[in-house]
Structure 1
Amino acid sequence: MNNESSLRERLIDVGVDLVLTEGSASVGLREIARRAGVSHGAPRRYFPTHHALLSAIARRGFEDLAARFEAAVAGTTTPRGQLEALARAYVGYARERRGMFELMWRHDLLDSAAQASDQPTLRESALPLFGHFTGLVARCRTERDAARNADGPSETAPPPAVTAAALWSNLHGMAQLWAWGSLQLALGVSPLDADAGDDHHDRLIAAVLDAHLGPVTS
């Protein structure tokens, strides 16, 4: 890695740390430069706009989440099992890296276009994750419909992408409402009881999957 690439990565490292410790609102080109020990104008050589900087930071989050997804489904062969594993990884990521989680999906703040010829667009990081969910939903539906053939045609269902979007929205809302303390209030869970939180997350994830895919049948 040459010095220019090294400095770019160091600036992103500082930005990631800021997002995780103080939230995305704290991230600015001048603050990044100050913490990285470079001139105020240095970051603009790599990130001409604030959106470009936030996008580079968010891309790190997508890389991290993709790695967690890959690890989560290792050894799990059924589409329903893989979706459950991905759901747990997604909600777990939201709990562990809240600032990054909140930034990654703020495409109103992010720049989806690549800022340099050697950098991928943000879409190339985000859309494959949704595509993975959609593919698994389609496989779940195919297996369910095959099991129901003996009982006649299944009910009309929306396209897999629509179901995947609804499932994702449900998981994201669950994670965000938990972070805000709203679900704990609704469920009577103490915010200080982490173990109870894990149990409730498992139950909520199971309920989300049942709602969008149907309950598991033996």
Structure 2
Amino acid sequence: MTRTTYHHGALRDALLAACLRLIETEGIGAVSLRRVAREAGVSSGAPYHHFADRAALLADLATQGFRLLTDQLTTARAAASSPTAALVALEQSYVRFAREQPGYFRLMFRPELSQPEKHPNTRIAGEAAFGVLADAVADCVAAGELSPERAEPTTVTLWALGHGLASLWLDGQLDKRGTIFGTTATELVDSVLDGIGGLLRADSGAPGRPGPG
């Protein structure tokens, strides 16, 4: 199959892949339906068979990203040795996703671009990703490792920490700090997450280190 002979189902996937490549190489500002069509090797009108406008294309791509993130978070949670260890594993997985999928990550949290209020699948996919963390915190409550009244603030704190570390790393800020501190960005992230793991274990009274993410 050549790039100019995509069948109907493959065309959509090819356009999404082309959009992701553009974001990763040139940034979100480079994305237009015409430019994505050119990148995919199809006519300028071809994207309109699947996407009403640029926002619809970006919404579908963001939905893909959230679903991929959900899958990775779910796997990390399932592999953890305890409810508390699962929270650290989720933080590790979140930061890893951002590093490995920067195109998705830079788009997924830009609602002014993907317009989730107009594209419910994107909103639902985003809530599913957040739900993995919320459910893991609920597991800690059920296991007696976290008090019920701390569930909500702990969930938001962990989300903010993971997202902040991921964003700082992608923007090169952790590399700068690492140079100053004589360490690497990876070591900085590991140190922060080890510290969070220690705090969680101290609160729960759980001994030992959490399992790897």
One-letter code aligned to 1:168 = W
Which ranges of structure 1 fall in alignment gaps of 5 or more residues?
147-153
Following the alignment from structure 1 to structure 2, what is the Cα–Cα distance between the partners of residues 76 and 212?
14
One-letter code aligned to 1:157 = E
Following the alignment from structure 1 to structure 2, what is the Cα–Cα distance between the partners of residues 199 and 144?
31
What's 1:101 paired with? 105
What's 1:178 paired with? 169
User: Does 2:45 match 1:57?
Assistant: no
Aligned length: 200
What's 1:199 paired with? 187
Following the alignment from structure 1 to structure 2, what is the Cα–Cα distance between the partners of residues 172 and 18?
23
Give the one of 81, 84, 87 matched to 1:83: 87
Q: CA deviation at 1:9?
A: 1.5
User: Does 2:57 match 1:69?
Assistant: no
User: Does 2:154 match 1:163?
Assistant: yes
Q: Contact 1:23 / 1:100 at 8 angstroms: preserved in 2?
A: no
Which ranges of structure 2 fall in alignment gaps of 5 or more residues?
1-5, 208-213
One-letter code aligned to 1:20 = E
Kindly tell me: are residues 138 and 167 of structure 1, through their superposed partners in 2, closer, same or farther at Cα, counting changes over 3 Å?
same
Following the alignment from structure 1 to structure 2, what is the Cα–Cα distance between the partners of residues 214 and 106?
36
Kindly tell me: are residues 212 and 74 of structure 1, through their superposed partners in 2, closer, same or farther at Cα, counting changes over 3 Å?
closer
Following the alignment from structure 2 to structure 1, what is the Cα–Cα distance between the partners of residues 161 and 118?
30
Q: CA deviation at 1:41?
A: 1.8
Q: CA deviation at 1:87?
A: 1.0
The alignment partner of 1:31 has SS state of: helix
Following the alignment from structure 1 to structure 2, what is the Cα–Cα distance between the partners of residues 185 and 110?
31
Q: CA deviation at 1:180?
A: 2.3
Following the alignment from structure 1 to structure 2, what is the Cα–Cα distance between the partners of residues 75 and 175?
22
The alignment partner of 1:126 has SS state of: helix
What's 1:25 paired with? 29
What's 2:140 paired with? 140
* TM-score scaled by length of structure 2: 0.79
One-letter code aligned to 2:186 = D
Q: CA deviation at 1:101?
A: 0.8
Give the one of 9, 16, 19 matched to 1:12: 16
Q: CA deviation at 1:145?
A: 5.6
Deviations 1:68-101 (A, max 9, x none): 2233234324111112111111101112222221
Following the alignment from structure 1 to structure 2, what is the Cα–Cα distance between the partners of residues 176 and 215?
28
Q: CA deviation at 1:17?
A: 1.8
The more displaced of 103-112 and 28-37 is: 103-112
Q: Indicate the percent of aligned positions where both proteins have the same amino acid.
A: 31
The alignment partner of 1:109 has SS state of: helix
Following the alignment from structure 1 to structure 2, what is the Cα–Cα distance between the partners of residues 3 and 60?
20
Kindly tell me: are residues 216 and 181 of structure 1, through their superposed partners in 2, closer, same or farther at Cα, counting changes over 3 Å?
farther
The alignment partner of 1:112 has SS state of: coil
Q: CA deviation at 1:112?
A: 2.3
Following the alignment from structure 2 to structure 1, what is the Cα–Cα distance between the partners of residues 113 and 139?
34
Q: Contact 1:59 / 1:122 at 8 angstroms: preserved in 2?
A: yes
